[in-house]
Every structure is written in C-alpha cells, then in structure tokens.
Amino acid sequence: MVDDSFLVLLNAHSEPVRFTMPEELADLEWEIMLYSAMGLAAPLPVESPETGDVGGVVRGVAQKEEWTDRMKILFATAEYAPLVRVGGLGEAAAGLVTALRGDGVDVEVVLPDYFSTPLEDETSLELDVPAWVGGARARSGIDDGAGEVTLVEVPGINRPNPYVDADGSGWPDNADRFFAFSAAVAALATGRRPDVLHCNDWHTAVALGFVDDALPYRPDDPHSWVSGVDVGWVARSNS
C-alpha cells in the first residue's frame, strides 16, 4: 500500500521476508513510524532494485545507534485466561498477549475487576471518568495465574459471572456496566499514553469514542461517532 506520504509493507507469511522498495520510490526518504515485527520503530532491511544487495535501512530513515524504546500497548479485554475465561475471548487474549510480550512488546492487560481478585505488589489509581460512570479505580499488580494485570472497578461490574445470572440470562445492565468500563479504559489510556490502545470485542469498543487527544494514533474526531449511537447516556457529553 502506498500513498503520497506513507508506504505500508505487509508480510503475511509465517517467516521473515525481505522487502524490495519499488524502483520509483527507491530514492525517496522514508521515516519508519511502526515496525510491528519488532514491537518498536526500527530499521528495516532493504534490497536495492538495481544490484539486489541488501542494505541496512530504508534510505533517509533517521539513524540511531540503538533502538531501545519498546512499543507500549494498553490491551483492554473482558476476559483473560486463566483469570477470567467464559468463551474463546479469554484464551485468544492470553495467547496474543503472550506472543506480544515474547517479542519484547510492553503490554498492559486491562480487564474488569469482576471478583475483587487480590494482587501481589498492588498499586491503585483513581480514574478521571465522566460523572455518569459513578467513579472508577484501577488496581495493577500480579495475579498468581495470569501474571501482570490491571483490574478496573466501576459500579456494577463485580458479578459472579461476567455476563449472565444464575438462570443463564444476561444481566439487564450489561450495556451500562461495559460502557462504564470502556470509559474507564479511555481514562487509563489517557494517563498511560500507550502507543496503541487495543480494544477487544464490544465490551471495550466504546473506549475509542471517549479516548483523549493524548494517544498518538486516533481519529481526527474520536467523539463524532458516539453521538450517533442510540443507547441512552452514550450520546451524552463526555463530561
């Protein structure tokens, strides 16, 4: 994919590949903004279209002796195995986080505090959320099974089952619970300033509508779509 100001190189193979810059672009200068294979911004190997030789970096990329800044991801999810496991989301989230951390990515896993789970080395943070949420608190620490996590408490989120009551019926306030959780995720992301806010499934989707300007990658107007969602207080002001 190429445009006047960006070039995206995609590798869909399971193994590393070398990219050859198109001849018409070989003499242009490019600055690497994101290198997902390494979990950071770093030089890419480039093959000359004339000689086939492999050079060190994309022409014109800002040089650094060492690239030490790891990509930071705030990973919001309603499930995370083995701490919370209802369906496939918990397993998928845990697998992805394990792979990202294995590649050196700094991942903070954020999920609802359904069970008031005790954490080792716990730290606590009150979150600046809209008034309709009713307050929110984030606890970060280490769970015996799940490792490093951040658990978010908002009114009504603490339940014996994340989604359904004893009869198997969905909690009637599920929309309110998870929309409040999403607002808390946005507040946490505003303070943490990750490179990427990764939202999983509908439970966290609204966080993208409440996210602050502090994040580096965001729509020009992140609140515009929220006003069109016909779900009660979702259409209200973020303040």
Per residue in 89-141, pLDDT tens?
999 999 999 999 988 889 999 999 999 999 999 999 999 999 999 999 999 99
170 in the same domain as 145: yes
pLDDT of residue 32: 65
Distance (Å, whole) CA 71 – CA 39: 5
Q: Which of 12-16, 22-26, 39-43, 88-92 has the lowest mean pLDDT?
A: 39-43
Q: Which residues contact 97 (CB under 8 A, 6 or more apart)?
A: 75, 80, 107, 109
pLDDT at 125: 96
106 with 185, same domain? yes
pLDDT of residue 154: 97
Measured CA to CA, the distance from residue 156 to residue 132 in angstroms comes to 13
Q: Could you say which of 24, 51, 69 is where a domain stops?
A: 69
Supply the pLDDT for residue 64. Answer: 35
- The total number of structural domains that make up the chain: 2
Q: Do residues 60 and 124 both lie within one domain?
A: no
- Please tell me the distance from the alpha carbon of residue 1 to that of residue 24, in angstroms, as a whole number: 14
User: 210 versus 142: which is more confidently predicted?
Assistant: 142
Query: Is residue 9 located within the same domain as residue 95?
Result: no
Instruction: Return the pLDDT at 219.
Output: 43
The pTM (predicted TM-score) of the whole model is 0.67
pLDDT band, very low/low/confident/very high, at 237 (cuts 50, 70, 90): very low
What pLDDT score does 238 carry?
37
Evaluate if residue 67 carries a pLDDT over 60: no
What is the per-residue pLDDT for 4?
Answer: 65
pLDDT tens digit sequence for 28-65: 766 666 666 554 444 444 444 444 443 434 443 333 33
Tell me how far apart the alpha carbons of residues 62 and 59 are, in angstroms, rounded to a whole number.
Answer: 9
pLDDT of residue 2: 56
Domain boundary among 40, 69, 98: 69
- Between CA 105 and CA 98 the distance in angstroms is 10
Range of the domain at 2: 1-69
pLDDT at residue number 65: 37
Asked whether residue 86 falls in the same domain as residue 51, the answer is no
For residue 195, the model assigns a pLDDT of: 84
Q: Are residues 65 and 150 in the same domain?
A: no
